[in-house]
């Protein structure tokens, strides 16, 4: 057998995204632009043009908090024990290495197995926990409302960078509400133009702590800090982050041992607006299976390994509120302990 044929047989799987299943961005300043969605292309087709077939073929913006994309490969991604399994590329850049900051817009990564075997991502989703897991708010619902046909822009004399301070209203199940602002840099429609409905609701969204800071208190120099690990569009490309399927947890936060996954969802995980920079939105530029030819285990759920049985599964929900002098602390390996 010649070496070219041999190499082709060995590299049976593409390490890059093969298919986009859903593209559901929230409204935002890059909507209808990154990517452009021009008929007859559907939103999913437009996203696929940007994401399929290469390590970083293009770029899509997921819009504000809750917006998401679902994609998969031409094979299941195997959970190799003790190793990161895939990468998700974004467009975060480092501006200050010493201070660990740049343009991080962290997105939460979810994984799913095609347990009903229909080839579609309509099965249970598992969040991959990252470094902010203990400080995240889960199971949130956020609704964005389309501006009315007779909407008049509301200007703010203190915010000259805005053309509309009350552009798209939102309400969240945590009792908060607010506006997406329209800025001078991006004058196009921020509402997904292919959605005719009067509102868009995202359910079961995980909110990460804000990572943006008004560094001088004057609103002229916003900076965003990188989280330690575990999020998309968080670390710069010079420091590509791998995601380990072993960090999957179920809806109650309990670890789930998955031998492989078929679908990946990336969802904007911060709900913050940073002055003239506008709202934070996770961008996705592609993804890569780090071991595309790893053999697929026979059953979907694996027996727990020693690592799974490490004391990271203590479920503190349902316990009385922590009293004074006690605090929750999460160790580097995701261990939850109570510090008195």
φ, ψ dihedrals at 7, nearest 5°: -65, -40
Tell which one of 118, 148, 157, 238 touches Ca ion (CB under 5 A): 118
Asked whether position 204 contacts Ca ion by CB under 5 A, the answer is: no
Neighbours of 42 (CB within 10 A): 13
Asked whether position 105 contacts Ca ion by CB under 5 A, the answer is: yes
What's the rounded Cα separation, in Å, for the pair 34 and 59? Answer: 7
Instruction: Give, in order, the Cα–Cα distances in Å from 97 to each of 15, 105, 273, 313, 332.
Output: 30, 17, 23, 34, 21
Tell which one of 43, 67, 71, 114 touches Ca ion (CB under 5 A): 114
Beta carbon of residue 86, minimum distance to Ca ion (angstroms, whole number): 9
Torsion of CA 126, 287, 11, 291, to 10 degrees: -50
What's the rounded Cα separation, in Å, for the pair 4 and 47? Answer: 32
Asked whether position 91 contacts Ca ion by CB under 5 A, the answer is: yes
Beta carbon of residue 282, minimum distance to Ca ion (angstroms, whole number): 6
Beta carbon of residue 19, minimum distance to Ca ion (angstroms, whole number): 13
Tell which one of 32, 58, 76, 85 touches Ca ion (CB under 5 A): 85
- Whichever of 43 and 72 has its CB closer to Ca ion, that residue is 72
- Whichever of 63 and 147 has its CB closer to Ca ion, that residue is 63
- Whichever of 181 and 262 has its CB closer to Ca ion, that residue is 262
Segment near Ca ion (CB under 5 A), from 16-24, 63-71, 86-94, 303-311?
A: 86-94
Beta carbon of residue 81, minimum distance to Ca ion (angstroms, whole number): 6
Show the beta-strand stretches assigned E in 151-250.
162-172, 177-183, 199-207, 212-214, 222-225, 242-243, 248-249
- Whichever of 24 and 245 has its CB closer to Ca ion, that residue is 245
Tell which one of 33, 123, 171, 308 touches Ca ion (CB under 5 A): 123
Pairing mode, if any, of strands 77-78 and 248-249?
A: unpaired
Rg, the chain, Cα only: 21
Tell which one of 283, 290, 292, 294 touches Ca ion (CB under 5 A): 283
- Whichever of 24 and 34 has its CB closer to Ca ion, that residue is 34
Report helix, strand or coil for 260: strand
- Whichever of 17 and 70 has its CB closer to Ca ion, that residue is 70
- Whichever of 65 and 145 has its CB closer to Ca ion, that residue is 65
Binding residue count for Ca ion, defined by CB under 5 A = 16
Neighbours of 197 (CB within 10 A): 10
Asked whether position 233 contacts Ca ion by CB under 5 A, the answer is: yes
- Whichever of 182 and 260 has its CB closer to Ca ion, that residue is 260
Q: What sections of the chain are H helices per DSSP? A: 3-10, 43-51
- Whichever of 140 and 248 has its CB closer to Ca ion, that residue is 248
Asked whether position 295 contacts Ca ion by CB under 5 A, the answer is: no
Whats the size of the chain, residue-wise? 340
Tell which one of 95, 116, 155, 189 touches Ca ion (CB under 5 A): 116
Neighbours of 97 (CB within 10 A): 11
Nearest alpha-carbon partner for 55 in 29, 89, 25? 89
Tell which one of 36, 45, 97, 122 touches Ca ion (CB under 5 A): 122
Beta carbon of residue 163, minimum distance to Ca ion (angstroms, whole number): 22
What are 126's two structure tokens?
Answer: 């598992």
What's the rounded Cα separation, in Å, for the pair 251 and 127? Answer: 8
Report helix, strand or coil for 38: coil
Partners of 88 in the beta sheet? 287
Beta carbon of residue 123, minimum distance to Ca ion (angstroms, whole number): 4
Asked whether position 279 contacts Ca ion by CB under 5 A, the answer is: no
Beta carbon of residue 246, minimum distance to Ca ion (angstroms, whole number): 5
Nearest alpha-carbon partner for 92 in 252, 295, 233? 233
Contacting positions for Ca ion (CB under 5 A) = 79-80, 83, 85, 91, 105, 114, 116, 118, 120, 122-123, 233, 244, 246, 283
């Amino acid at each position: 057998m010649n070496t070219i044929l041999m190499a082709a047989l060995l590299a049976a799987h593409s390490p890059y995204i093969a298919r986009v299943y859903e593209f559901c961005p929230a409204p935002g300043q890059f909507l209808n632009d990154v990517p452009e969605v021009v008929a007859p292309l559907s939103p999913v087709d437009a996203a696929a043009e940007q994401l399929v077939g290469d390590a970083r073929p293009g770029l899509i913006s997921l819009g504000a908090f809750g917006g998401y994309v679902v994609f998969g490969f031409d094979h299941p991604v195997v959970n190799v024990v003790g190793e990161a399994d895939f990468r998700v590329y974004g467009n975060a850049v480092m501006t200050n290495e010493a201070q660990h900051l740049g343009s991080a817009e962290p997105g939460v990564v979810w994984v799913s197995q095609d347990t009903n075997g229909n080839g579609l991502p309509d099965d249970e989703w598992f969040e991959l926990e990252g470094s902010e897991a203990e400080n995240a708010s889960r199971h949130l619902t956020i609704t964005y409302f389309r501006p009315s046909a007779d909407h008049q822009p509301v200007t703010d004399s203190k915010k000259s960078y805005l053309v509309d301070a009350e552009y798209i209203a939102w309400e969240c199940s945590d009792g908060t509400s607010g506006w997406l602002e329209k800025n001078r840099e991006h004058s196009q429609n921020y509402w997904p133009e292919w959605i005719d409905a009067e509102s868009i609701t995202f359910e079961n969204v995980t909110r990460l702590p804000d990572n943006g800071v008004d560094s001088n208190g004057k609103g002229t120099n916003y900076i965003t800090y990188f989280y330690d690990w575990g999020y998309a569009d968080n670390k710069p490309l010079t420091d590509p982050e791998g995601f380990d399927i072993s960090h999957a947890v179920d809806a109650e936060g309990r670890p789930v041992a998955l031998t492989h996954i078929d679908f990946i969802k990336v969802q904007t995980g911060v709900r913050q607006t940073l002055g003239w920079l506008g709202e934070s939105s996770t961008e996705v530029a592609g993804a890569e299976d780090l071991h595309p030819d790893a053999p697929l285990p026979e059953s979907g759920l694996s027996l727990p390994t020693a690592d799974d049985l490490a004391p990271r599964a203590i479920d503190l929900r349902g316990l009385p509120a922590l009293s004074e002098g006690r605090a929750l602390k999460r160790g580097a390996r995701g261990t939850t302990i109570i510090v008195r």
